[in-house]
Amino acid sequence: MTTSMNNRPMRNGLHSRHFLQHQPAPAPVNGEVRRNLRKPIRIMKFGGTSVGDAGSIGKVVEIIRSAARESHVVVVVSAMSGVTNQLVAAASQAEAGDYQRVAAILAELRRQHDAAADALIHSSAERSSINRKVEELLQEGDRLCRGTMLLGELTPRTRDAISSLGERLSAPLVAAALAECGVASEAIEATELVVTDSCHGAADPFMDLTRERCHSGLRPLLELDIVPVVTGFIGATTDGILTTLGRGGSDYSATILGAALTADEVIIWTDVDGLQTADPRLVTGGRTIPEISYREAAELAYFGAKVLHPKTLRAVMQCGIPLWIRNTFAPERPGTKITPSGPASAAGVKALTALNEVALITVGGPGLAGVQDVLGRTFRTTAAVRADVLLISQASSQNDLCLVIASALGKGMVEALRHEFAHDLAHEPAKHIALDPTVAMVTVVGQNMRSVPGVVGRTFAALDRENVNIIAIAQGSSECTFSFVVAKQDVKTTLASLHQEFRLGNPRHLATAAGSAASDEDENYYQPWEPVATGRPNQEQ
Ligand code: ADP
Ligand code: ASP
Ligand code: MG
């Protein structure tokens, strides 16, 4: 099919100047342009593996083409898999002054994107247009890296600009692949749509401004049945400076757009069947959870389930839009539906998650026993180094406390605490503030866990049987989570034994692992492939 590629007129107030339009030859529609959106709006986000090569993009195109028949689709894309890591590496090499390495990385990215374009786009005019776009973006990357080398410093703003190139490369490619298959589409940079604060590397959206931009920038396209292909991961400040939402942030981009457009649903297409009862890389015999609540999914994401960016649920919490996680490579499978309150009947432990990249900081000892406000001062210090405290546990009579934070912040945090308590501990020979980077944090997640007695006791007993030592423990205030700290080397054993203890796996696996099949009456067991509630998207026939 022939495609045409025109530059759309620039719209007022938009910042980015990168517009590509891919439309099949216009079909006669009696000259009538629909003014209103009468079909449901679906936001479909495709992760790095889903757009990892031409073959995968082909599957993505089929899913979108099918969905676009019965709904207005807004596509959000990640960079091709591995590309953001390569760009981050190029930025670091530039800071280190190694231009050869930078050039080699950019050349490899050019090869990767050109190869995908060659396989996906048959029209030579379209293909050269994509090749030019790839070249233009990589030259921008080259200039940013040269600038970094010149200064000998990689600023957060430049790091964002370099790492954003992956999504800016993949969106035009996916849009062109859609056009090739007869789906009118337009690549759009999210700098035009998602207005954020200026917190580079972890930006958050200003929703009112983002809503306005999405209405003016996306609705007109949807009215024309054009599929916008939006870059995930990025946004821009009110001054038009590019920001990123954080690694893995395209999931968050999808829910931000979903909330801004009051979409009917948001679907995160990835490389697994849905949200699993545990990370499939760490536990075998896990199961896809058919339905789960916002709260549970948010806790799983926050405490380590990589399949969702930790902030993904934030954007839809207020509006109740259902969120799905589905498998690009097995679109016939139902996936996981994430709803405001989850399935009515399900109580008890739903899933397990673990965070490996954490450190345990202990504050305590005889020298701090009489010191006033140790807790308050510790928290003020964590706020000053912008560290999220993932777990805290305190022994009140002694002022002893331990907290878990991301390991990248561990050293800085310990220095800041030693500085804060320097005066109090000036004459203390013993170490009062210590860092342990050899730990991991495991979290048990389940709504209404309070109605299932003995979860903590069963956890202790199961880990005792495996000789796993629990170093610290804390129950979340919502009783939806319960977290504890173990040695990194014990994580796999911990997850496997709790997965079995709470009968989270599929029955076949349980029958061999636990010696008997799970019973349907067990409150911590529910059918693996039970039919999913209504409202499931039906984009693949
Ligand atoms: P994408 O590139 O599509 O954004 P990610 O790699 O970010 O995909 O996330 C998907 C991966 O998350 C899966 O391949 C799986 O290894 C990992 N993962 C970790 N915990 C879970 C979980 N509880 N359920 C499903 N996947 C999980
Ligand atoms: N490409 C970005 C990353 O790798 C964002 C994403 O994939 O969600 O972190
Ligand atoms: Mg991801």
> Which residues, chain by chain, have CB under 5 Å from ion ligand 3?
47, 248
Distance from Cα 142 to the centre of ligand 1, integer Å: 31
Gap between the Cα atoms of 366 and 351, Å rounded:
40
Instruction: Give the closest ligand to the alpha carbon of residue 253.
Output: 2
Region at 515 (left for phi over 0; alpha for psi -120 to 50; beta for the rest): left
> Ligand 2 in contact with 48 (CB < 6 A)?
yes
Q: Which domain covers residue 134, as residue numbers?
A: 49-264
Q: Amino acid identity of 245?
A: L
- Which residue out of 75, 306, 353, 495 has the highest number of ligand 1 atoms within 8 Å of its CB and is therefore the one to mutate? 306
CATH number reported for the structural domain that contains residue 409 in this entry: 3.30.2130.10
Give first-to-last CA distance, the chain, whole Å: 23
> Ligand 2 in contact with 247 (CB < 6 A)?
yes
Predicted TM-score (pTM) of the model is 0.87
Task: Give the residue among 265, 324, 325 at the shortest CA–CA distance from 41.
Answer: 265
User: Does residue 488 form part of some domain?
Assistant: yes
User: Does residue 286 form part of some domain?
Assistant: no
User: Would you state the pLDDT for residue 37?
Assistant: 75
Q: What is the bridge-based pairing of β-strands 20-24 and 185-188? A: antiparallel
Distance from Cα 251 to the centre of ligand 3, integer Å: 7
Same domain? For 132 and 235 the reply is yes
Q: What is the bridge-based pairing of β-strands 3-4 and 20-24? A: antiparallel
**Residue nearest atom 4 of ligand 1, based on CA coordinates:** 47
User: Would you state the pLDDT for residue 507?
Assistant: 62
What total number of domains does the chain contain? 2
Gap between the Cα atoms of 390 and 522, Å rounded:
31
User: Would you state the pLDDT for residue 364?
Assistant: 85
Task: Give the residue among 332, 356, 386 at the shortest CA–CA distance from 539.
Answer: 332
Distance from Cα 90 to the centre of ligand 2, integer Å: 16
User: Would you state the pLDDT for residue 396?
Assistant: 66
Q: Name the token pair of 420.
A: 């804060």
User: Would you state the pLDDT for residue 428?
Assistant: 78
Which ranges constitute the DSSP H helices of 152-278? 156-163, 165-180, 207-223, 250-260
Q: Which atom of ligand 1 is nearest to the CA of 274?
A: 25
List the beta strands (DSSP E) in 16-174. 20-24, 41-46, 72-77
Per-residue pLDDT of the chain (541 residues; tens, 9 = 90+): 333 333 333 333 333 322 344 444 443 333 333 356 789 999 999 999 999 999 999 999 999 999 999 999 999 999 999 999 999 999 999 999 999 999 999 999 999 999 999 999 999 999 999 999 999 999 999 999 999 999 999 999 999 999 999 999 999 999 999 999 999 999 999 999 999 999 999 999 999 999 999 999 999 999 999 999 999 999 999 999 999 999 999 999 999 999 999 999 999 999 999 999 999 999 999 999 999 999 999 999 999 999 999 999 999 998 999 999 999 999 999 999 999 999 876 678 999 999 999 999 999 887 788 888 888 999 999 998 888 899 998 876 667 899 999 999 999 999 999 999 988 888 777 778 999 999 999 999 998 777 778 888 999 999 999 999 999 998 776 678 889 999 999 999 999 999 999 999 876 544 443 334 344 334 343 333 232 222 323 322 2
SS3 512: helix
Same domain? For 352 and 253 the reply is no
With a Cβ cut-off of 6 Å, ligand 1 is lined by 47-50, 78, 248, 270-272, 275-276, 278-281, 305-307, 351
Q: Name the token pair of 6.
A: 């025109």
Same domain? For 259 and 405 the reply is no
Q: Which of 226, 248, 264 is the last residue of a domain?
A: 264
Helices 124-151 & 165-180, crossing angle to 10 degrees? 180
- Segment holding 194, helix H or strand E: none
User: Does residue 39 form part of some domain?
Assistant: no
Gap between the Cα atoms of 318 and 338, Å rounded:
14
Same domain? For 260 and 355 the reply is no
